[in-house]
Amino acid sequence: RAAKGLSPLATPVRVLRDALREAGIDASPVCDVTEVAQPRWQPAIESYLGMNAQALVISREAEEDAIDIARRLGGRARGAKLVLPSRVHPWRGTAPGLLAGELIKGDDLDAVNFIRQTLGQLACVDTVAELRASKAAIMEDGTLSKGMTIEPLGVPERLVIGRQGDD
């Protein structure tokens, strides 16, 4: 991955991806096939996504076999996620303002829509007043407003979405 300019995947994701490959199932991490259109929002978006940023996209035809493999791995793949294309649908932003989902781009529509659906109607806001007024919003520094709470997520040191590798 480093030779291709990609950040390393988490160990559980590598374990699952390798097991899928051994079974002849192609699995692409969503972080390899998507990007954030406005780089200033990428750290906050990745903080919100957590391990979802490294979820593995498989084909619809491979879903059942991939699930069986994941189940057999059990705790060795804890935290790794499979994107099931049969459950992914086109995302539509309906909240006012700039939505995080609008910033997700890529050619793999299952990966793009998975991330967009995971982000939901999360707004990208610049002020604490906007943060307080929004049902779901995040600031550049990773401060999240959702429901009745404010949560300081912070931002990751290493970014994984797109070609952000540094090793």
pLDDT of residue 5: 58
**pLDDT tens for each residue of 52-88:** 999 999 999 999 999 999 999 989 999 999 999 999 9
pLDDT for the residue 167 = 29
Q: Strand 143-146 to strand 136-138: parallel, antiparallel, or no bridges (unpaired)?
A: antiparallel
Q: Which residues of the chain have pLDDT under 70?
A: 1-6, 163-167
Q: How far apart are the first and last CA of the chain?
A: 9
pLDDT digits (tens, 9 = 90+) for 36-48: 999 999 999 999 9
Q: How confident is the model at residue 96, as a pLDDT?
A: 81
| Residue from 84, 95, 74 nearest 15 by CA | 74
The 3-state DSSP class for residue 13 equals helix
* pLDDT score, position 157: 85
**Distance (Å) of CA 68 to CA 18, 74, 76, 96, 105:** 14, 10, 14, 41, 30
